C-alpha cells in the first residue's frame, strides 16, 4: 500500500510497474506522474486536482471517492478503468484510451 505522496514519487523514480498497488487518502494535487505504470491499482479517497498523469498506464484501475478535477489524463491508458463516485470535472482526457470504462456518479 502506498501511504504518502513522497513514497509514490520515490517508487516512480525507480521506473518500475506497480501493478495492483493500493493508494489511500493521498494528496497528489499538482504532482507530475506522467507515464507512471499503475495497472489494476486501487485509488481510495485520493485528491489529484491538477496532477499530470499524461500517458499513464492505468488499465483496470479503480478510483473510489476521488477528486480528479483538472487532472491531465491525455494519452493515458484507461481500458476497463472504473470511476466510482469520482469527480473528473474539467479533466483533460484528449487521446486517452478508455475502452469498457465504467463511470458511476456520486450519490
For residues 65-78, b (16+ Cβ closer than 10 Å) or e, as one string? ebbbbbbbbbbbbb
- pLDDT of 10-48, one tens digit each? 888 887 778 899 999 999 999 999 999 999 999 999 999
d(CA 62, CA 76): 14
Cβ atoms of 45 and 22 within 8 Å: the answer is no
Beta bridge partners of 31: none
- pLDDT of 62-79, one tens digit each? 999 999 999 999 999 999
Predicted pLDDT of residue 62: 96
pLDDT band for 102, please (50, 70, 90 cuts).
Answer: low
Predicted TM-score (pTM) of the model is: 0.85
Amino acid at each position: 500500500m502506498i501511504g504518502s505522496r513522497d513514497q509514490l514519487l520515490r517508487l516512480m523514480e525507480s521506473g518500475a510497474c506497480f501493478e495492483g498497488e493500493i493508494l489511500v487518502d493521498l494528496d497528489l494535487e499538482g504532482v507530475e506522474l506522467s507515464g507512471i505504470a499503475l495497472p489494476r491499482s486501487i485509488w481510495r479517497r485520493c485528491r489529484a486536482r491538477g496532477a499530470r498523469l499524461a500517458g499513464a498506464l492505468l488499465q483496470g484501475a479503480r478510483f473510489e471517492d476521488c477528486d480528479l478535477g483538472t487532472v491531465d489524463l491525455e494519452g493515458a491508458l484507461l481500458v476497463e478503468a472504473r470511476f466510482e463516485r469520482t469527480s473528473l470535472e474539467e479533466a483533460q482526457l484528449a487521446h486517452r484510451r478508455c475502452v469498457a470504462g465504467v463511470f458511476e456518479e456520486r450519490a
